[in-house]
Amino acid sequence: MAKRVVLITGGGIGIGRATALAFADQACHVVVTDVLEAEGNAVVDEIRGKGGSADFRFLDVTSTEQANAVVAETEQRLGAVDVVIANAGIAHRVPFGAMTDEKWDHTFDVDLKGILRIVRPAVPGMIKRGSGAVVALSSIMGVAYGWDEHVHYSSAKAGVVGLVRGLAVELARSGVRVNGVAPGYIRTAQLLSQEHSLGPEGAEAAPAFIPMGRLGEPQDIADVIVFLASPAARYITGQVIAVDGGLLVGRY
């Protein structure tokens, strides 16, 4: 992989952090963005400590102005944004009976519209150069499963699939590829949250019904993201790949 500029949202922890480190290992310059400043800067320090190239920019993906500014500043400073990894997301447990417009809209604002906000300003430069790659994070809860008390999350992540497909077709002749990844149960802070997800006990029990017999690790997702953004995936666009240890095909 030639040295490229990779911009990652939600790059401070979990899958985003693992993805930033994986791209840095491929000699890319990584722009780590997040609302978690300490965590994002720690990732940059880790990359630089290994001899890699990275910097941190604060970005709340619910802000169009911030997203536009981060992309514009990166292009001015580094010459291009070659790859966008739209990873930032939230998943809050809300029973449907307690669902308000505000709670619904906030999840869509981060998990779906947040992708629009960071991809939209990056696409013109990609089209101008005739190359580029976008990878957006969906979920198995958006491509195959429903998730009780997370209807807003499942709906937003299903929307990511439509975004990937539609944008991939629109940009295909411009040399820009758009793909997605749908993680299964991955060992992250989100998954281990008792309030919003499986919690520690649920995480411990999950391998019993995952065909590969273990939870996924952030690196398992990061490696697929790096592949989809690489020349090795040059004829792949509009796809959302489930990375779930066989969960979707193994539940019957």
Distance of CA 169 to the CA centre of its chain: 20
| Number of domains composing the chain | 1
Say what the pLDDT of residue 192 is. 67
**Structural domain harbouring 59:** 5-250
Say what the pLDDT of residue 193 is. 63
- Give phi and psi for 20, each to the nearest 5: -60, -45
CA distance 36 to 190: 15
CA distance 214 to 206: 8
Residue 1's pLDDT band, with cuts at 50, 70 and 90, is very low
Q: Percent of the chain at pLDDT above 90?
A: 86
pTM to 2 decimal places: 0.95
Q: Which CATH number do you get for residue 60? A: 3.40.50.720
Range in 158-162, 186-190, 231-235 with the lowest mean pLDDT: 186-190
Say what the pLDDT of residue 176 is. 98
Q: Give the tens place of pLDDT for each residue, 77-132.
A: 999 999 999 999 999 999 999 999 999 999 999 999 999 999 999 999 999 999 99
Say what the pLDDT of residue 245 is. 95
Residue with the larger pLDDT of the pair 202 and 27: 27
| Active-site annotation, residues | 153
Say what the pLDDT of residue 9 is. 98
Q: Is the pLDDT of residue 50 over 80?
A: yes
CA distance 168 to 175: 10
